[in-house]
Amino acid sequence: MRDKQEDKVPLQEWTQSRESWPLLEEYLQLRSGLPGPRANLELAARFARGYARAEITDTAWILLTVWAEDPGEYLPFCAVQACAAHYAFTDSLRRGWIKQMLKRAMNDARWRVREAAAIGLQYVGEYNFPELRELLEQRAFVAGLAHPPMLKSREQAQYSLGLAAEITDGILNGRSAGYDSEQFRVLSKGLEYSLSLFVAAEPEAGFALLGRLAASGDERMVRIVKSNLSKARLSKKYPGQVEELLAGLTSA
């Protein structure tokens, strides 16, 4: 559980002075939760929220550009999210840099940095969904789009479901052959939970897609369908459709 005293620590004040940067770095690193199974998401989010405004000094901005290139994990994890949080409030020059930084983070070898990119995409999508489309790549789209506040818009939910259909069709038609094993694993894991969010937002078209994937007989698609059908957001709200699809998979 987070220490309530953390809320009183002047994180943003420390970003304003280069002399305070080592203090800020030490504070974040010590409370990062790393090495370990779970990074301190709450602390990173609090740091990022401090950048969700227009009045960011050049010194505070330079800090993010430095941290984005750090060879460790937690400082880039925080910097990527903070840059994305700043996206809606800054000028075109910084936005261009943030876009490039997010694209690099999506493909970073460190999975925590890829996770930060996915969280960052959500910040951008809440501000401007069309701009999110420009940033997305298949390996990162599921995490970026699987965000309930964005899916409240029917247009955005339909777009997300349509892109999921394109990607699963691509897998079935062999267009994923160029992925290495890690890239395909990340994509598959994302599909195993994100489709349930898209289906919950657009149930008629969503269940039609799950039905088509189940009927393909492809082992990868069957695993993805079963995983999504197990999610409470579908099994509790649409028990009939879920049972029907599961029955078809069992009898196949």
CA-CA distance, 155 to 178, in Å (whole number)? 31
What tokens does 90 get? 């800054």
CA distance 106 to 234: 29
User: Would you state the pLDDT for residue 170?
Assistant: 81
Q: Which helix (H) or strand (E) holds 93?
A: helix 92-106
Spatial separation of the C-alpha atoms in residues 144 and 218, rounded to whole Å: 26
pLDDT of residue 1: 44
Cβ atoms of 140 and 117 within 8 Å: the answer is yes
Tokens read off for 66: 């430095």
For residue 74, the model assigns a pLDDT of: 97
Provide the token pair at 45.
């989010």
Sequence-separated (6 or more) residues with CB below 8 Å from residue 176 = 170, 184, 187
- pLDDT given for residue 4 in this prediction: 54
* Cβ-Cβ contacts under 8 Å for 170 (sequence gap 6 or more): 138, 176
Q: What's the angle, vertex CA 133, arms to CA 53 and CA 93, rounded to 5?
A: 45
- State the pLDDT at residue 138: 59
Tell me, what's the pLDDT at 118? 83
Query: In this structure, what DSSP letter does residue 40 have?
Result: -
Query: In whole angstroms, what is the distance from residue 232 CA to residue 215 CA?
Result: 22
Model pLDDT, residue 210: 97
Sequence-ordered list of residues with C-beta below 8 angstroms from that of 84, at least 6 positions apart, any chain: 48, 98, 102, 119, 120, 121, 122, 123, 124
Query: Which positions of the chain have pLDDT values less than 50?
Result: 1-2
**Span 182-223, pLDDT tens digits:** 667 777 888 999 999 999 999 999 999 999 999 999 999 999
Question: Which residues, other chains included, contact 55 with Cβ-Cβ below 8 Å and sequence gap of 6+?
Answer: none
What pLDDT, in 10s, does the model give residues 62-79? 999 999 999 999 999 999
